[in-house]
Amino acid sequence: MIRDRSKLRWNGWGWIAQRDRLAAHDAFWTWLAQELGMPGLLATPPRPLEELVLPASRLTAGERAVLIALLGADRVREGAHERAFHARGRSYRDLLGLRAGDLDLVPDAVLYPRGQGEVLAVLMLANEAGIAVVPFGGGTGVAGATLADPCGFKSVLALDLTGMDRVIEIDTVGGTATLQAGISGMALEQALKARGATLGHYPQSFEFSTLGGWIAHRGAGQMLPRYGTAENWLLSARLATPRGLFSTEAVPASATGPRLSQLIVGSEGAFGVITDATVRIRSAPAFADYRGYLFRDFASGAAAIRTVMQNEIPAAMLVLSDAQETRFCRAFNALSDRQGWSDRLADARREFNGFDDAACALVTGFEGTRTEIRESVGRVAAIARRLGAIPLGRSPGERWRAGRFRTPGLRDSMLDRGVGIDTFETAASWSRLDALHASVCQALTAALRANALKPDADGIVLARIAHAYRDGASLEFSVIFPRRLDGEIEQWQAIKTAACDAIVAHGGTISHHHGIGTEHLRWMEMEKGALGLEVLRAIKQVFDPKGILNPGKLIPR
Ligand SMILES: Cc1cc2nc3c(=O)[nH]c(=O)nc-3n(C[C@H](O)[C@H](O)[C@H](O)COP(=O)(O)OP(=O)(O)OC[C@H]3O[C@@H](n4cnc5c(N)ncnc54)[C@H](O)[C@@H]3O)c2cc1C
């Protein structure tokens, strides 16, 4: 079934009908303005679509007629909301453009194919006619990877895969499921749950993102330590390309040279369109336990996570906020009526133990049988105790679980009030992590200051260990700052460049799970090397000789 885009915001997050959850929380907004050095928050609403004039579609009458004959009139859409919704993804840069009504780059039409045959036919046609094609899942990407840029082709089509959302097979004996790529996270998990199974991939964008997007972006869910990333759970996939169908191996293991499925993970729509995929599933966990700890500082919290991972304690989730983020979350909870008796108890224990502003909160999650969970929680509690942490009980964990898919809407609330917010992410080995954390925070603080609205209104930097492995972890950094309305893109670009330069200089990857798109292209050669890029270009040339697929993304030209 086609996802009804008309009910979704074309220039923000989620449902149009969804209200601003923080509208009535004046105390929070007053506090935030003070934190950011703003005399008061502003009213900076986005421009409504009705005010904007979109460029006329460049499709010829003949091309339109052929597409309609192929897909049906209802699946070839040229309405303003459809085209605007598919113009970009949902990065901060994208949101600035959409909210300002910058719709110079919009798809000429949005297509909703029903299956592999139709996708192949569209690609053949576009290849013949010299039309660019941008594969589009949920449109939740944050790296500029769905920007409708024709890059020199005469027009550009958005190929929305959400009409391809069928469950093809759930094989509980083999522990696999085969699904069409446009299925949303929610629908996928519901179908698996009905058979007692789960994929366990829960990105924060879960409600709106799709299986194809998760694979194409090499995504990571919040329960990565237990369920792995897309590269771990993808068994095989079918990729429609202008040269025909490419199917990859579907055996549990094989020594027939490099595994070709891995060419599809992270291909960002530049090699082909993932039409369906077979993924490794597991039994749905019977029980879950999410709880919090408070560490004296970031280093001891990070040491706890490393010890858990290196001792192979089967955690589902380990997220450590740094001191700034811990302080921000405490204030946020207190000022948005999310504080309960357990928070007050935690405050008392924190004071009793002499913890200061360097304290850092860790949320842990475990899933499985009662016995498994009891054993793991006990082992982690012992590690935390040895490292001097205070246990905070279940309430921080339950609060995290309840709110985990709701926070993306906050970006719109802030943008409406003259406040910018963006997140940068990376991963590095444990031995580099402390220095990387400090250096990126420092670079971001300096960039916020240098690009501030005015000297005392620069902004704040929050960071966290978001995903953990045996050999390292992924760090995420968020910045919240007063928007410089006279030069917003320049302000963002300077902050983004500072973060990315510091990440690369201190041994981090340019992206752990957001991908390359257009926004990380300039750091791609540093990460892959000249020869590495040549390999990627050669692969693209094989699948897509004319370069019509998602041009200008993933591989620098
Ligand atoms: C608030 C917020 C939180 C997020 N949290 C996470 C997180 O926790 N973990 C995470 O990994 N990511 C996260 N993201 C990023 C984003 O949601 C993911 O990258 C997601 O996997 C994108 O899926 P999508 O279906 O929306 O893809 P889209 O955004 O539509 O597309 C992303 C890329 O994949 C390509 N693509 C999509 N479908 C196909 C297909 N079928 N075949 C070929 N190419 C295709 C597109 O061309 C594009 O290059 C977050 C984003 C936001 C805004």
Give tens-digit pLDDT for 219-242: 999 999 999 999 999 999 999 999
Nearest ligand 1 atom, CA 210: 25
- Give distance in angstroms: CA of 383 to centre of ligand 1: 35
List pocket residues of ligand 1, CB cut-off 6 Å: 89-90, 134-142, 145-146, 161, 181, 203-205, 209-210, 212-214, 216-217, 219-220, 222, 268-269, 273-274, 408, 513-514, 550, 553
**Rounded distance from Cα 135 to ligand 1 centre (Å):** 11
Look at phi and psi of residue 105 and say left if phi exceeds 0, alpha if psi is from -120 to 50, else beta: beta
- Cα(184) to ligand 1 centroid in Å equals 11
Q: In the chain, what is the greatest distance between 2 CA atoms, to the nearest angstrom?
A: 76
Instruction: Please state whether beta strands 273-280 and 176-180 pair in parallel, antiparallel, or not at all (unpaired).
Output: antiparallel
* Atom number, ligand 1, closest to the C-alpha of residue 13: 53
Which 3 state secondary structure label does DSSP give 327? helix
Distance 345 CA to ligand 1 centre (A): 39
Among 11, 86, 165, 205, say which to mutate for ligand 1: greatest number of ligand atoms within 8 Å of CB: 205
Q: Which residues of 79-98 are buried (b: 16+ CB within 10 A; e: fewer)?
A: eeebbbbbbbbbbbbbbbbb
Residue nearest to atom 27 of ligand 1 (CA): 213
Average pLDDT of every residue of the chain: 95
Nearest of 150, 142, 52, 49 to residue 93 by alpha carbon = 142
CA dihedral defined by 400, 404, 408, 409, rounded to 10 degrees?
A: -80
Write the pLDDT tens digit of every residue in 8-30: 999 999 999 988 888 888 999 99
Cβ contacts of 534 within 8 Å, gap of 6 or more: none
The predicted structure's pLDDT at residue 19: 85
CA of 52 to the centre of ligand 1 (A): 27
pTM of the complete model: 0.96
pLDDT in the model for residue 454: 86
Banded model confidence at residue 332, pLDDT cuts 50, 70, 90: confident
Tell me the CA–centroid distance for residue 210 and ligand 1, in Å. 7
- Tell me which residue has its CA closest to atom 36 in ligand 1: 213
Residue 57 Rama label (left phi>0; alpha psi -120 to 50; beta): beta
Which residues lie below 8 Å from residue 472, measured CB to CB, with a gap of 6+? Answer: 427, 428, 429, 430, 432, 433
Closest-lying ligand 1 atom to the alpha carbon of residue 212? 41
- Nearest Cα to Cα of residue 411 among 73, 17, 9: 9
Report the phi/psi class of residue 455: left, alpha or beta, with left for phi > 0 and alpha for psi in -120 to 50.
Answer: alpha
Mean pLDDT confidence for 94-113: 97
- 28-36 — which CB contacts under 8 Å span 24+ positions? 28/331, 28/332, 28/335, 28/336, 29/417, 31/331, 31/335, 32/419, 32/480, 35/460, 36/419, 36/457, 36/458, 36/459, 36/460, 36/480, 36/481, 36/482
- Closest atom, ligand 1, to C-alpha of 268: 49
- Over the Cα atoms of the chain, what is R_g? 23
∠ CA 423-501-466, rounded to 5°:
35
